[in-house]
Structure 1
Amino acid sequence: MPHYTVHLREDALTGREPQLITALTDAVGSVFGPDFGKLVGVDLIGLPPHRRATGGLPQTGPAPQVTLSMREAAYTHPAVPEAPQRLIGAITDAVAGVLGEETRQETLVTLVGVPEGRTGVGGRLV
């Protein structure tokens, strides 16, 4: 199951939660197909402005940090060429589309691959 964790300034997030959730879900669907998008989980974590910094300096913009974790094999599936690059582009486009184009340059996307046999739901490996 693909899962997003998104950290950004609370003031940039408030009121945009539904649009951001939809845009991020659609980003995965645009790479792996719409049925895959139905499996996407999203956690949005808003931070007070004084709790976000880069290089020791407080962030002045939303500074979204997006982590997408899913099975490692999805990133190298032969039916989905260049999946990592396509995901990073689609995710960045989704964030900029909701939060504004000015956030594009400060959006950090990290893709995390989970090895098979290392995920569980309801106490069982999936």
Structure 2
Amino acid sequence: MPHLSVHVLESDLAGRETALIESLTDAVVAVYGEWARSLTVVHLIGLPPHRWGIGGAPATAPAPAVTFGIKEGAFHRPDSEEIIARLVAGVTDAVAGVFGERVRAGVTVELVATLPGRSAVGGVVVTS
């Protein structure tokens, strides 16, 4: 299951929640296929400006930051470099499409690998 958590200023997020969820889900589906739509989870985390710092000071206009939880096996596929590049580009395009091109250069996408047996759903460890 692809899991995306997006940290963004609350003031930037307000009113754009549905568009961002749809755009990020579409970006995942564009890479993996339609089967991934119902499995894609998006968490939106809106922060007040005084709770986001860069360089030791409150940030004035930070770009959204995305943490993308992905199965570790995706990094070992023969086409892993292409898959990773398409995911990062698609997620960045989705964020810029919702918040505007001004954020593109600062959008961060962190791919976090989950090993088999290191996550659970409904109290059951996922082993694949």
TM-based fold match above 0.5: yes
Partner of 1:17: 17
In 2, Cα distance between equivalents of 1:57 and 1:81: 35
Are the structure 2 counterparts of residues 124 and 70 from structure 1 closer, same or farther at C-alpha, using a change threshold of 3 Å? same
In 2, Cα distance between equivalents of 1:35 and 1:79: 19
In 2, Cα distance between equivalents of 1:2 and 1:121: 13
RMSD: 1.5
Given the alignment of the two structures, is residue 32 of structure 1 paired with residue 32 of structure 2, yes or no? yes
Given the alignment of the two structures, is residue 102 of structure 1 paired with residue 102 of structure 2, yes or no? yes
Identity of counterpart residues, as a percentage? 50
Aligned length, in residue pairs: 126
Deviations 1:52-82 (A, max 9, x none): 1211232222421100102111243346651
Given the alignment of the two structures, is residue 6 of structure 1 paired with residue 2 of structure 2, yes or no? no
Counterpart residue type for residue 10 of structure 1: E
In 1, Cα distance between equivalents of 2:57 and 2:25: 32
Given the alignment of the two structures, is residue 59 of structure 1 paired with residue 55 of structure 2, yes or no? no
Counterpart residue type for residue 67 of structure 2: T
Partner of 1:91: 91
The 3-state SS of whatever aligns with 1:82 is helix
Which ranges of 4 or more aligned residues in structure 1 deviate by more than 6 Å?
none
Q: CA deviation at 1:32?
A: 0.8
In 2, Cα distance between equivalents of 1:99 and 1:46: 14
Contact map agreement 1:76 1:83 (CA 8 A) in 2: no
Counterpart residue type for residue 120 of structure 1: A
Contact map agreement 2:10 2:48 (CA 8 A) in 1: yes
The farther-off stretch of 61-70 and 2-11 is 61-70
Contact map agreement 2:63 2:104 (CA 8 A) in 1: no
Q: CA deviation at 1:7?
A: 0.6
Please, which runs of 5 or more residues in structure 1 have no aligned partner? Answer: none
Please, which runs of 5 or more residues in structure 2 have no aligned partner? Answer: none
After TM superposition, the score normalised by the length of structure 2 is 0.91
